[in-house]
Amino acid sequence: MTEHLTLFEPFPEPPPLILEYIAARSAEAIVADGPAPWDLGALPAELIRPMPAWLDSVCRWLNGRYAWQPQDVIPPCWARHEGLAYEIAALALAREEAYADAGSSVTWHEQYDRFLTRMNRALGKAGDECRVGRHEDRPSRFQLAAWPAPADGPADTPAAGHGDDGASR
């Protein structure tokens, strides 16, 4: 039994730049200075640059440890699903803090289970195709396209900057 436990792969370490940013934010008197590291859309370019590779390794790690059922697999096109990217970043960064004590790690696993529920609801039937490497653009693109442009221009529309379907590329 012991030899099986030695095969456990550690959770992927956040990029050094992100760890430095977290430490700097924690050291500040007002933690709210600067965006939270899991708020991908608010991060400056130098902090966002290392995130995709790290989050991909997190997804691979989670899939390898927890995805025993098809609906538990985070699809390889996770980055093209903007909402998933935000959630994966928050879940990954929460894990480090959660493993500081045993009770918090149980709570993290409950958060992971809720993440899977939200992921499956967001992906819907398209998730089956995405999980086998056939990404399907946002099925609700026709509904988003029906929204009229706001008075101050198209830059504020839900699908702004993401092509005609609202999916992140």
SS3 of 128-162? HHHHCCCCCCCCCHHHHHCCCCCCCCHHHCCCCCC
pLDDT of 167 higher than 60? no
What tokens appear for 120 in the block? Answer: 């499956």
The string of pLDDT tens digits covering residues 67-125 is 999 999 999 999 999 899 999 999 999 998 898 888 889 999 999 999 999 999 999 88
Q: Which of 56, 33, 38, 51 is nearest to 94 (CA)?
A: 38
Q: Which of 50, 57, 74 is nearest to 37 (CA)?
A: 50
Question: What is the arithmetic mean of pLDDT over 22-44?
Answer: 81
Which residues in 131-144 are b (16+ Cβ under 10 Å) and which e?
Answer: beeebbbbeebeeb
Distance CA 152, CA 26 (A): 37
pTM of the model: 0.79
Q: Which of 89, 96, 94, 10 is nearest to 55 (CA)?
A: 89
Confidence of residue 1 (pLDDT cuts 50, 70, 90): low
CB atoms inside a 10 Å sphere around CB 92: 23
For residue 116, give the H/E element and its range: helix 102-123
Exposure on the CB side of residue 144, measured as CA atoms within 13 A: 17
